[in-house]
A and B are shown apart, each in its own frame.
Chain A
Amino acid sequence: MAFPGLLNYWLIIGLMMIGFYIVIAHGNLIKKIVGLNVFQVSVFLLYITMGKVEGGTAPILAEGITAYSNPLPHVLILTAIVVGVATTSLGLALVVRIRNAYGSIEEDELDVQDDRP
Chain B
Amino acid sequence: MIAQHMPIIQIILPLMAAPVCLIIRHPHVVWIWAVAISLLCLPISVSLLMQVMDTGTIVYELGGWAAPWGIEYRIDTLNAFVLVIVSAIGAVVMPYARRSVEKEIPVSRIYIFYSMMLLCQTGLMGIAITGDAFNLFVFLEISSLSSYVLISFGTDRRALTAAYRYLIMGTIGATFYIIGVGFMYSATGSLNIHDLSTLIPEMAGSRTVQAALAFLTVGLGLKVALFPLHMWLPNAYTYAPSAVTVFLAATATKVAVYALIRVTYTIFGTVDFLDIVPARDLLMGMALIAMFVGSAVAIYQVNIKRMLAYSSVAQIGYMILGLSFDTVNGVAAGIIHLFNHAMMKGGLFMVLGAVMYRIGSVHLHDMAGLGKKMPLTMAAFVGGGLSLIGVPLTVGFVSKWYLIQAALEKGWWPVATLIVVSSLMAVIYVWRVVEVIYMKPAGQAAENATEAPMSLLIPTWVLIGAAVYFGIDATTTVDVAVAAAEALLGGAR
The interface residues of chain A lying within 8 Å CB-to-CB of B178 are 43, 80
Known: A43-B178, A73-B185. A79 touches B157 (CB 8 A): no
Chain A 1-45 interface 0/1 with B at a Cβ cutoff of 8 Å (1 = within)? 000000000000000000010010000010011001001100100
Q: Interface residues of A toward B: which range?
A: 20 to 34
Least Cβ distance of A42 to chain B in Å?
A: 9
In the bound complex, CA of A29 to CA of B168 (Å):
10
Check if A98 sits within 8 Å of B164, measured CB to CB.
yes
Contacts of B148 in A (CB 8 A): 90, 94
CB neighbours (8 Å) of B138 from chain A are: 79, 83
What's the minimum C-beta distance from A10 to chain B, rounded to whole angstroms? 15
Question: Which residues of A are found within 8 Å of B172, using beta-carbon distances?
Answer: 20, 23, 36, 39
**Can you list, as one digit per residue, whether each of B188-232 has a CB less than 8 Å from chain A (1) or not (0)?**
000000000000000000000000000000000000000000000
Cross-interface CB contact of A36 among B149, B158, B171, B185, cutoff 8 Å: B171
- Residues 79-109 of B contacting A (Cβ, < 8 Å): none
**Which residues of chain B have C-beta atoms less than 8 A from A95's C-beta?**
164
Instruction: Check A47 for interface membership: any CB of B closer than 8 A.
Output: yes
Specify which chain B residues have a CB less than 8 angstroms from the CB of A20 in the assembled complex.
172
Residue of B nearest to A113 (CB): B157
| In contact, B141 and A98 (Cβ under 8 angstroms) | no
CA distance A23 to B169 in the complex (A): 10
Cβ contact within 8 Å between A29 and B157 = no
Assuming A43-B179, A47-B182, is B141 touching A94 (CB within 8 A)? no
A29–B161 Cα distance when bound, in Å, is 10
Contact between chains at B134 and A76 (CB < 8 Å)? yes
The reply on B417 being an interface residue by CB < 8 A is: no
* Cβ 8 A contact of A87, one of B134, B141, B161: B141
Contact A50 B175 (CB under 8 A): no
The smallest beta-carbon distance between B120 and chain A, in angstroms, is 14
Q: Is B450 an interface residue (CB 8 A)?
A: no
A82-99 CB contacts (< 8 Å) to partner B: 83, 86-87, 90-91, 94-95, 97-98
Interface of A is mostly: helix
B182 in contact with A97 (CB, 8 Å): no
Contact status A94-B164, CB under 8 Å: yes
For chain B, residues 7 to 61, give those with C-beta under 8 angstroms from any C-beta of chain A.
none
Q: Which residues 144-161 in B have Cβ within 8 Å of A in the complex?
A: 145, 148-149, 152, 157-158, 160-161
Q: A36-B172, A86-B145, A90-B149 are in contact. Are A50 and B167 (CB under 8 A)?
A: no
* Nearest neighbor of A91 in chain B, beta-carbon distance: B167
- Is A23 in contact with B185, judged by CB distance below 8 angstroms? no
Assess whether B171 is in contact with A114, with CB atoms less than 8 Å apart: no
> Contact size class for B?
20 to 34
Number of contacts between A and B (CB, 8 Å)? Answer: 67
B455 within 8 A of A: no
Closest residue of chain B to A46 (Cβ to Cβ) is B182
Dominant secondary structure of chain B at its interface with chain A: helix
List chain A residues, Cβ under 8 A from B179: 43, 46
Shortest distance between the CB of A19 and any CB in chain B (Å): 9
Known contacts A76-B134, A101-B157; A50 and B164 CB within 8 A of each other: no
User: B168 to chain A: which residues have CB within 8 Å?
Assistant: 23, 32-33, 36, 91
Q: Which of A55-108 contact B (CB under 8 A)?
A: 73, 76, 79-80, 83, 86-87, 90-91, 94-95, 97-98, 101-102
Q: What B residues does A87 contact at CB under 8 A?
A: 141, 145, 167, 171
Is B240 interfacial (CB 8 A cutoff)?
A: no
A97 contacts across to B, CB distance below 8 A: 152, 160
Answer yes or no: B398 CB below 8 A from chain A CBs: no
Task: Say yes or no: A43 contacts B164, CB within 8 Å.
Answer: no
> In angstroms, how far is the closest chain B Cβ from the Cβ of A43?
6
How many angstroms between the C-alpha atoms of A87 and B144 in the bound complex? 9
Can you list 23 A-B pairs with a CB-CB distance of less than 8 A? A20-B172, A23-B172, A32-B168, A43-B175, A43-B178, A43-B179, A50-B185, A79-B134, A80-B178, A83-B137, A83-B138, A83-B141, A83-B174, A87-B141, A90-B149, A90-B167, A94-B148, A94-B160, A94-B163, A94-B164, A97-B152, A101-B160, A102-B157
Binding site for A on B (CB under 8 A): 134, 137-138, 141, 145, 148-149, 152, 157-158, 160-161, 163-164, 167-168, 171-172, 174-175, 178-179, 182, 185-186
Q: What is the interface of chain A, defined by CB distance below 8 A to chain B?
A: 20, 23, 29, 32-33, 36, 39-40, 43, 46-47, 50, 73, 76, 79-80, 83, 86-87, 90-91, 94-95, 97-98, 101-102, 110, 114
Q: Give 5 closest A-B pairs by Cβ, nearest first.
A: A101-B157, A83-B141, A94-B164, A50-B186, A98-B160
Q: Given contacts A23-B168, A87-B171, could you give 18 more A-B pairs where the C-beta distance is less than 8 Å?
A: A29-B164, A33-B168, A36-B172, A39-B172, A40-B175, A43-B175, A43-B178, A46-B182, A79-B134, A79-B138, A80-B178, A83-B137, A90-B149, A94-B148, A98-B157, A101-B157, A102-B157, A114-B161
